[in-house]
A and B are shown apart, each in its own frame.
Chain A
Amino acid sequence: MKILFDRLFAGKHGARNLLVLGLILLVILPLSLDIFRLNLVGKYLTYAFVGVGLVLLWGKAGVLSLGQGVFFGLGGYCMAMFLKLEASDPISTKIQSTPGIPDFMDWNQLKALPSFWVPFHSFPFASAAVFVVPALLAFFIGLAMFKRRVGGVYFAVITQAIALIISLAIDGNQGLTGGRNGITDLRTLLGHDIRSQHAQYVLYFTTCVLLIGVILLLQWMLSGKMGKILLAMRDREDRVRFSGYDVSAYKIFIFSLAAALSGLGGALFVVQVGFISPSLVGIVPSIEMVIFTAVGGKLSLYGAVYGALLVNTGKSLFSENFPQLWLFMMGGLFIAVVVLFPNGIAGIWQNLTEKFSGWSAARRKAPVAVATEVIAPVALETETSKTP
């Protein structure tokens, strides 16, 4: 029982973090915000799914992907295709020249539903695709790159190019994907109106519960052997490889897992916001998601959630009131986080708590600042990180 508790909540500290997050998301915010603002928070939380994926991938495994927006977008598109088909049944689209296909296809003179759209009539298929499509793409990218030991900057540049390719491809095929406008005018999910207030409350709580579930799952995974190997890999990849571990297999797994989580976030985004477009897929959203994670703290799962909430709240406040200042703020924030606070809010928070609770001085001097919920750095890493 104690072991389960330790692994799932990462000990007493982790349980406290979970409690705080749960209180904020499930009690304080719903009680203090109106449904419009709460829906916005729900939207930001869907980015947090990408954020926790990036914590795994970038913070723990040391692989920075600048293409997470692609996976978010693919998950979103899978869900949007299902919703769009549900919204364009033959009766409500009878004024079109071809009833029963989505409106943008009709505008582009398509006469029949393209074959890859057909399976998205089925809800089970679409919900599976939300995870499987991004994960498969990530799997093949990972297979091609990690097996050849491509990493670091190259991986970042190539994933960024993939983000550009996919957003251009979606943008350029207006008849198949809705083009630049994306897939809009989504109304119902299995017959329930997704735009009603009641539905928005339900979707908000679903998002929160799923997010907390994902965090617990990852916590459990990271507290085991996987977490230790990831950290070791990040800090001394060769040594892990020489010890007989298949480094690329771990990286491929983590990359695919992060992609699947991003896909889930994208699908939740679509049901809450009611549309998806290529502007959520390309380079800029992908980098912005890295920013949320960096601000929250790339080592902390909880930090990623707070990062997504804070940066987006800041973004909407600032771009409403001082649109001129927003980019300065965002750019400055990013430079500050990278140069001054490499472990983000979670790192600052941890430094503060350590100072006050008077932990041992040795712990404070550990080379890698350990984020709030994290396992202690592996012996392997502290011992080898000094050798250049």
Chain B
Amino acid sequence: MGQYTASELWSITAMQSFAGFSLFSVLLLMALGLAIIFGQMGVVNLAHGEFMALGAYTVYLCSQLAHTYAPALVPIYFLVAIVAAFLASALAGLFVEWSLIRFLYKRPLDTLLATWGLSLIMQQLFRTIFGAREVTPTLPDWLMGSFKPSESIDIPINGVFVMALTLALTGGVWLFMYRSRLGLRMRATVQNRSMSGAVGINTRWVDRMTFSLGCGIAGVAGAAFTTIGSTGPDSGSRYIVDTFLVVVFGGTASLAGTIASAFGIAQAQSIFEFFLEGTMGKVAVLLTIVIILMIRPKGLFANKVRS
């Protein structure tokens, strides 16, 4: 590291940690939905990345619509598009739960295999409908550009936007899980299904809502994703392993654990990637996680509740 001066190192650290924050937002956004579906319900949803891509494609469609039919709405379409992305993915999740997942709740390994099949089908659907090329929605002007707090530091606005969205969504999920009736029923069903049924909770309905909500959150993640990168048919599957590692590493049933592990993984990865060559940085991070998981299989924040 000898070739950098102290102030340059400081700027590098600032920008890399900002890059780490962006990656943290992306990982957390993806992991939030999965933390509900996998952490709470125990369904291994390998098609989670495709629900995210679905959200991203919804935003793309909205941007095309806004441009063709209502150019005046272009500055604000994005906010509507986020809601549309949530609804599209949540509805798709509802359908998938009804047609596939509900038959497999007692066979977690089989959900893994079936959702892999589902992800292949969804990827091919995207490819058939939108083409194999990556697409980018036209972003409103207020998302472009960057802040410049000092000479050598450059902070893009879209990154800040994604972080704000992440914060809002995380807060929303927390409120939902710990302060709402459906959240209460959801946690009750996870802890003891038959007892929840006995006190009058419709556990099947709760399952369906939970799965659909997790998919909807993935859709929002996809929408956020369009502001920082383009969307292709397989862009969801690129992150699926990372996302699972985030959830497993954090300890499956813990929201705080998911946040902490997303933060740690993202920071480590962006710092390693700067000092090691591209892929080897990722190898180092993943290897560290796997080794820690081998020592502490329940993750950082293990849930002490008996299952």
Which A residues have a C-beta under 8 Å from some C-beta of B? 64, 66, 141, 144-145, 148-150, 152-154, 156-158, 160-162, 164-165, 168-169, 171-173, 283, 287, 290-291, 294, 324, 327-328, 330-335, 337-339, 342
The residue among B104, B109, B248 with the most chain A CB atoms within 10 A of its own CB is: B109
Interface contact B290-A158, CB-CB below 8 Å: yes
Contact of A334 among B108, B113, B128, B297 (CB under 8 A): B113
Interface residues of B in 278-301 (CB under 8 A from A): 278-280, 282-283, 286-287, 289-290, 293-295, 297
**Known contacts A64-B109, A161-B286, A165-B287; is A339 also within 8 Å of B121 by CB?**
no
Contact of A331 among B109, B119, B287 (CB under 8 A): B119
Interface contact A150-B103, CB-CB below 8 Å: no
Interface contact A332-B117, CB-CB below 8 Å: yes
User: What are 20 A-B residue pairs whose CB atoms fall within 8 Å in the complex?
Assistant: A141-B294, A145-B297, A152-B109, A154-B248, A157-B248, A161-B289, A164-B286, A168-B280, A172-B277, A287-B116, A290-B113, A328-B121, A328-B124, A332-B121, A334-B114, A334-B120, A335-B117, A338-B113, A338-B114, A339-B104
Number of A-B contacts (CB under 8 A): 112
- Residue B244 is within 8 A (CB to CB) of chain A in the complex: yes
**In the complex, chain A residues whose CB is within 8 Å of the CB of B109:** 64, 152-153, 156
Chain B, interface size category, equals 35 or more
Interface contact B117-A169, CB-CB below 8 Å: no
Expressed in whole angstroms, the Cα–Cα distance for A171 and B279 within the complex equals 8
Interface contact A327-B123, CB-CB below 8 Å: yes
- Residue B214 is within 8 A (CB to CB) of chain A in the complex: no
Q: 5 more A-B contacts (CB under 8 A) besides A152-B109, A173-B280, A331-B121?
A: A144-B295, A153-B108, A168-B283, A283-B241, A333-B117
B contact patch SS? helix
Interface contact B245-A161, CB-CB below 8 Å: yes
Interface contact B241-A339, CB-CB below 8 Å: no
**In the complex, chain A residues whose CB is within 8 Å of the CB of B124:** 324, 327-328, 331
Interface contact A168-B282, CB-CB below 8 Å: yes
- Residue B33 is within 8 A (CB to CB) of chain A in the complex: no
- Shortest C-beta distance, B103 to chain A (Å), equals 6
Interface contact A338-B110, CB-CB below 8 Å: yes
Expressed in whole angstroms, the Cα–Cα distance for A339 and B113 within the complex equals 10
**In the complex, chain B residues whose CB is within 8 Å of the CB of A342:** 110
**In the complex, chain A residues whose CB is within 8 Å of the CB of B116:** 287, 331, 334
- Shortest C-beta distance, B22 to chain A (Å), equals 21
Interface contact A154-B297, CB-CB below 8 Å: yes
Expressed in whole angstroms, the Cα–Cα distance for A157 and B42 within the complex equals 13
Interface contact B118-A331, CB-CB below 8 Å: yes
Expressed in whole angstroms, the Cα–Cα distance for A334 and B47 within the complex equals 13
Interface contact A160-B297, CB-CB below 8 Å: no
**In the complex, chain A residues whose CB is within 8 Å of the CB of B280:** 168-169, 172-173
**In the complex, chain B residues whose CB is within 8 Å of the CB of A173:** 280
Interface residues of B in 135-178 (CB under 8 A from A): none
Expressed in whole angstroms, the Cα–Cα distance for A154 and B290 within the complex equals 11
- Shortest C-beta distance, B131 to chain A (Å), equals 12
Expressed in whole angstroms, the Cα–Cα distance for A378 and B72 within the complex equals 72
- Residue B100 is within 8 A (CB to CB) of chain A in the complex: yes
For the complex of A and B, the 4 pairs showing the least CB-CB separation, nearest first, are A334-B117, A331-B120, A172-B279, A331-B121
- Residue B37 is within 8 A (CB to CB) of chain A in the complex: no
Nearest residue, chain B, Cβ from A388:
B194
Contact of A168 among B110, B245, B279 (CB under 8 A): B279
- Residue B209 is within 8 A (CB to CB) of chain A in the complex: no
**Known contacts A172-B278, A338-B113; is A160 also within 8 Å of B121 by CB?**
no
Interface residues of B in 48-75 (CB under 8 A from A): none
**In the complex, chain B residues whose CB is within 8 Å of the CB of A335:** 100, 114, 117-118, 121
Interface contact B103-A339, CB-CB below 8 Å: yes
- Shortest C-beta distance, A279 to chain B (Å), equals 14
Expressed in whole angstroms, the Cα–Cα distance for A148 and B293 within the complex equals 11
